[in-house]
């Protein structure tokens, strides 16, 4: 196994021979064999062990074991304890997901602090098959059937070509010590049931199962790459960028067939994986939206509009006569001018003497109304939005220039009649929107 391991990393992970790295070690047989292989190959690495405090004294004994082996083998060891239960409760995640997040966040911190280049883990061929079966049972797209990647951002998995029997045989041959995790035999976990019952029977049925499974994964990965290229072309063809908002015209989406898989692939990168919800959104009324952890997807009249989730600004800028909170943050420039020039979408001229309560800049609020320039009566801003077909994102982004309770300008759209420059105006203020 040692010879195959060295040949494997020389071909697929030459960086392991050249740069110092971090080895994640639980103390179990897989990670202890990986540690042994790396030691015997003369590689430059440090070892990290996570104590998630989920198994009482056994968790402590695992940490003590790894620490002791670090002393015996003269290896730099890092051990960290986590309050996984508290993290799980506060983040509303399962214990397994919480442990995964905590583990990889700490590994990333160690890489930076210790000037290491990547982390290696002891995932092997049986783990690949277990993960495939779990995803298959729970329901997944093609990406869930392509297995554990051999290399990802900051992670390398050099044991994926080796199965559990090889690893155990090597551990016995080299007298590599390890600790058994009692939770690996608990049948309440799906992975354990697959490991103890399903996969051994598959191997009995055909001893070539892991080798053939690896070939199938290669075919699936190739298909996934082809699909990814196609979806990238479709995405470029159907989407339209409008600043930070991405627009997917409904007519373009409706021409895709079969629609549901296209919806899944187009919106999955933004956290939307329920194509039934996406279809309902397409068929829904204008103004309806769904959210992922990172993005909002809005059903507009003729398109689905996508934008990142962001906090809505409640900032109020005092811009005249004094400026606050910070002049450098001010998205509007004021100047006194002798006469008016051509006004544009983002430029307004007002009669300074009409500004009895200075000028403030804020976001639109429900109930706001103004007297649109050229009209004799007042109009609610909400009615203006409806008449001019503003979508929800545009409403949320709309800034209002006001003087006290009176609106001076629906910024970038319509000024108020009451503040216009007339023949009797003595002082003119020019306002330019830079937001």
Q: What is the pLDDT of residues 234-243, one digit of tens each?
A: 999 999 998 8
Instruction: Give me the helices (H) in 13-122, please.
Output: 15-18, 29-40, 57-72, 84-91, 95-114
Distance from C-alpha of 226 to C-alpha of 220, rounded to nearest angstrom: 10
Q: Contact 25/47 with Cβ under 8 angstroms?
A: yes
Average pLDDT over residues 140-168: 90
Q: Is the pLDDT of residue 34 over 90?
A: yes
Residue 258, CA atoms < 13 Å, CB-side half-sphere: 4
Q: Is 29 annotated as a binding residue?
A: yes
Tokens standing for residue 408: 């001076």
Exposed, middle or buried, 364 (CB in 10 Å: 0-12/13-18/19+)?
buried
pLDDT confidence tier of residue 321, bands split at 50, 70 and 90: confident
Query: Which of these, 39, 41, 48, 30, lies nearest to 8 by C-alpha position?
Result: 41
Instruction: Report the alpha-carbon angle 13-17-18, nearest 5.
Output: 105
Q: Contact 48/110 with Cβ under 8 angstroms?
A: yes
Return the DSSP state at 311: P
Alpha-carbon distance values, 82 to 79, 95, 106, 122, 219 (Å): 10, 12, 10, 21, 39
CATH number assigned to the domain covering 239-308: 3.30.465
Q: Contact 394/292 with Cβ under 8 angstroms?
A: no
Q: Contact 20/117 with Cβ under 8 angstroms?
A: yes
End-to-end Cα separation, the chain, in angstroms? 63
Sign of the dihedral through C-alpha 386, 389, 392, 393: negative
The domain limits of the chain are 2-218, 239-308, 317-433
Distance from C-alpha of 193 to C-alpha of 79, rounded to nearest angstrom: 30
Dihedral of CA atoms 315, 321, 323, 328 in degrees, nearest 10, equals 110
Return the DSSP state at 184: G
Q: Tell me which of 3.50.40.10, 3.90.550.10, 3.30.70.380, 3.40.50.12780 is the CATH number of domain 317-433.
A: 3.50.40.10
Output the pLDDT for position 2.
92
Average pLDDT over residues 318-342: 78
Dihedral of CA atoms 252, 257, 261, 264 in degrees, nearest 10, equals 0
Q: Contact 118/45 with Cβ under 8 angstroms?
A: no
Output the pLDDT for position 330.
74
Q: What is the pLDDT of residues 168-206, one digit of tens each?
A: 999 999 999 999 876 666 677 788 888 888 988 999 998
Output the pLDDT for position 327.
58
Instruction: Report the alpha-carbon angle 134-140-142, nearest 5.
Output: 110
Output the pLDDT for position 161.
94
Cis preceding-peptide flag for 173 (omega within 30 of 0): no
Instruction: Report the alpha-carbon angle 410-411-413, nearest 5.
Output: 70
Output the pLDDT for position 328.
63
Output the pLDDT for position 333.
84
Q: Contact 320/358 with Cβ under 8 angstroms?
A: yes
Q: Is the pLDDT of residue 120 over 90?
A: yes
Output the pLDDT for position 263.
94
Dihedral of CA atoms 53, 185, 132, 29 in degrees, nearest 10, equals 70
Helix count (H) and strand count (E) of the chain? 16, 21
φ/ψ of residue 322, rounded to 5: -100, 165
Q: Is the pLDDT of residue 326 over 70?
A: no
pLDDT confidence tier of residue 335, bands split at 50, 70 and 90: confident
Question: What topology is assigned to 2-218 in CATH?
Answer: Rossmann fold (3.40.50)
Q: Is 387 annotated as a binding residue?
A: no
Q: Which residues pair with 369 in a beta bridge?
A: 380
Q: Is 31 annotated as a binding residue?
A: yes
Q: Is 28 annotated as a binding residue?
A: yes
Tokens standing for residue 9: 């990393």
Whole-number CA gyration radius for the chain: 31
Output the pLDDT for position 141.
78
Q: Which residues pair with 119 in a beta bridge?
A: 22, 155
Q: Which residue is listed with tokens 């450098």?
A: 328
Residues in the chain, overall count: 435
Output the pLDDT for position 92.
87
Distance from C-alpha of 383 to C-alpha of 379, rounded to nearest angstrom: 7
Which contiguous run of DSSP H or E holds residue 390?
A: none
Q: Is the pLDDT of residue 387 over 90?
A: yes
Distance from C-alpha of 196 to C-alpha of 155, rounded to nearest angstrom: 28
pLDDT confidence tier of residue 5, bands split at 50, 70 and 90: very high
pLDDT confidence tier of residue 435, bands split at 50, 70 and 90: confident
Q: What is the pLDDT of residues 405-416, one digit of tens each?
A: 999 999 999 999
Average pLDDT of the chain is 91
């Amino acid at each position: 196994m040692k010879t195959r391991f060295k040949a494997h990393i020389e071909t697929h992970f030459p960086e392991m021979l050249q740069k110092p790295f971090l080895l994640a070690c639980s103390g179990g047989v897989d990670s202890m064999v990986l540690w042994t292989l790396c030691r015997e190959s003369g590689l430059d690495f440090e070892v990290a062990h996570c104590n998630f405090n989920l198994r009482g004294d056994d968790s402590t004994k695992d940490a003590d074991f790894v620490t002791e082996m670090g002393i015996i083998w003269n290896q730099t060891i890092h051990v960290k304890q986590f309050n996984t239960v508290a993290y799980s409760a506060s983040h509303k995640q399962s214990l397994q997901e919480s442990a995964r997040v905590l583990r990889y966040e700490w590994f990333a911190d160690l890489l930076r602090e210790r000037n290491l280049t990547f982390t290696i883990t002891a995932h092997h061929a049986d783990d690949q098959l277990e993960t495939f079966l779990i995803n298959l049972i729970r329901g997944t797209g093609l990406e869930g059937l392509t297995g554990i990647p051999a290399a990802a951002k900051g992670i390398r998995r050099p044991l994926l070509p080796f199965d559990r029997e090889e690893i155990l045989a090597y551990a016995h041959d080299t007298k590599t010590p390890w600790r058994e995790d009692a939770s690996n035999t608990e049948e309440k976990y799906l992975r354990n049931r697959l490991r103890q019952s399903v996969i051994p029977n598959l191997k009995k049925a055909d001893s070539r199962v892991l080798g053939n499974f690896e070939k199938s994964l290669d075919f699936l990965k190739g298909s996934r790459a082809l699909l990814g290229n196609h979806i990238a072309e479709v995405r470029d063809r159907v989407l339209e960028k409008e600043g930070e908002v991405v627009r997917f015209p409904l007519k373009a989406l409706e021409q895709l067939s079969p629609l549901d898989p296209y919806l899944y692939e187009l919106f999955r990168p933004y956290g939307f994986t329920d194509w039934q919800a996406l279809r309902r959104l397409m068929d829904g009324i204008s103004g309806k939206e769904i959210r992922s952890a990172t993005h909002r997807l809005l059903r507009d009249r003729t398109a689905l509009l996508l934008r990142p989730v962001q906090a809505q600004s409640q900032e109020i800028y005092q811009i005249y006569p004094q400026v606050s909170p910070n002049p450098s943050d001010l998205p509007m420039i004021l100047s006194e001018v002798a006469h008016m020039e051509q006004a544009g979408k983002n430029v307004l001229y007002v009669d300074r003497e009409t500004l009895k309560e200075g000028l403030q800049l804020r976001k639109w609020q429900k109930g706001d109304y103004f007297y649109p320039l050229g009209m004799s009566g007042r109009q609610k801003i909400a009615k203006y939005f409806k008449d001019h077909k503003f979508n929800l994102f545009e409403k949320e982004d709309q800034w209002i220039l006001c003087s006290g309770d009176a609106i001076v300008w629906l910024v970038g759209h319509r000024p108020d009649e009451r503040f216009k420059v007339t023949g009797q105006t003595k002082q003119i203020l020019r306002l330019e929107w830079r937001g």
